[in-house]
């Protein structure tokens, strides 16, 4: 049985209060599945709260972060280190196209982030924009997210995503799981997850609503 990863990327959304309300509603509608691991990646400010709520309410979900400092603990104003994040999170999204575009993150910086994340036991979910995007050593989970599909409602086709996933796996023997991301909604998720080489989805907009997110989990 294929083990799916269903990853919510909340980006810069939700206050602490809104995050609590999400969890209250989500736990009513969420039906955990043996073949799917649910990972919620809130903004840093909500990571501690979300990890506590998930644990206290015994919700079958893991916590991830959306980014990580390339440095260890120390004099790096404004950064959150992998050491700090690993207190609460198991996963770290690294190399999202929004970080590459808005914050100038390049291959060299992203390699440092992967290396420091793995050294503190965080599993990188490394985002690539196409089959030729550089993937640093140590990456086992990749999320293929074509920028034209992010937040546009114009998802890639499952066939095209499957083709890219297969090429990525052929080129990088270490990569065990390739996820698809970009305008995933309840109505299209199963098209992706039924593909042989796609092991889950990374969801932005549709993960913010507890009903839509739980419906994605049900449909995948
Ligand atoms: P979207 O975002 O689902 O809103 O398209 C996906 C992502 O950027 O991870």
DSSP secondary structure string for all residues of 80-130: --HHHHTTT-SEEEE--HHHHHHH---HHHHHHHHHHHHHTTPEEEEEESS
Average pLDDT in the 55-71 region? 97
Residue 34: pLDDT band by 50, 70, 90 thresholds?
very high
The torsion angles phi and psi of 68, rounded to 5 degrees, stand at -155, 150
Residue list, ligand 1 pocket, CB within 6 Å? 9, 145, 150-151, 181-184, 202-206
Q: DSSP label at 194?
A: T
Please give the pLDDT value at position 167.
Answer: 98
Please give the pLDDT value at position 160.
Answer: 98
Tell me how far the alpha carbon of residue 182 lies from the centroid of ligand 1, in angstroms: 5
Q: DSSP label at 196?
A: T
Residue closest by Cα to atom 1 of ligand 1: 204
User: Could you tell me what percent of the chain has a pLDDT over 70?
Assistant: 100
Q: What is the dihedral of CA 81, 82, 84, 90, to 10 degrees?
A: 150
Q: What is the mean pLDDT of the chain?
A: 98
- SS3 of residue 205 by DSSP: helix
Please give the pLDDT value at position 115.
Answer: 98
Instruction: Give the other-Cβ count within 10 Å of 9's Cβ.
Output: 26
Residue 1: pLDDT over 80: no
| CB-CB contact of 130 with 160 (8 Å) | no
Residue 58: pLDDT band by 50, 70, 90 thresholds?
very high
Alpha helices in the chain (DSSP H): 16-29, 44-56, 82-85, 97-103, 107-119, 158-171, 189-193, 210-219
Average pLDDT in the 136-144 region? 98
Closest by alpha carbon to 207, among 17, 19, 15? 19
Atom of ligand 1 nearest to the CA of 150: 5
Average pLDDT in the 103-132 region? 98
The torsion angles phi and psi of 103, rounded to 5 degrees, stand at -125, 10
Question: Dihedral of CA 118/121/122/124: which sign?
Answer: positive
Tell me how far the alpha carbon of residue 214 lies from the centroid of ligand 1, in angstroms: 16
Query: Ligand 1 pocket check: which of 181, 201, 213, 215 to mutate, most ligand atoms within 8 Å of Cβ?
Result: 181
Looking from the CA of 12 toward its CB, the CA atoms found within 13 Å total 2
Please give the pLDDT value at position 172.
Answer: 97
Average pLDDT in the 144-156 region? 98
């Amino acid at each position: 049985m294929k083990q799916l990863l269903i990853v919510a990327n909340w980006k810069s959304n939700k206050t602490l209060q809104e995050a609590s309300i999400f969890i209250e509603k989500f736990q009513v509608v969420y039906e955990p599945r043996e073949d799917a691991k649910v990972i919620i990646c809130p903004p840093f400010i909500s990571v501690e709260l979300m990890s506590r709520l998930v644990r206290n309410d015994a919700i079958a979900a893991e916590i991830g972060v959306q980014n990580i400092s390339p440095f260890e603990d120390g004099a790096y104003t404004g950064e959150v280190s992998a050491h700090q994040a690993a207190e609460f999170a198991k996963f770290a999204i690294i190399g999202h196209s929004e970080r590459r575009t808005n914050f100038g993150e390049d291959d060299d910086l992203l390699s440092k982030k992967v290396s420091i994340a793995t050294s503190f036991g965080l599993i990188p979910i490394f985002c690539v924009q196409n089959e030729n995007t550089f993937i640093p050593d140590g990456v086992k989970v990749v999320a293929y997210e074509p920028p034209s599909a992010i937040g546009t409602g114009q998802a890639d086709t499952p066939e095209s995503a499957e083709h890219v996933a297969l090429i990525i796996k052929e080129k990088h023997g270490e990569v065990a799981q390739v996820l698809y991301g970009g305008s995933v909604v309840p109505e299209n998720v199963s098209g992706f997850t039924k593909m042989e080489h796609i092991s889950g989805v990374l969801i932005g907009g549709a993960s913010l609503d507890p009903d839509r997110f739980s419906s994605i989990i049900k449909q995948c």
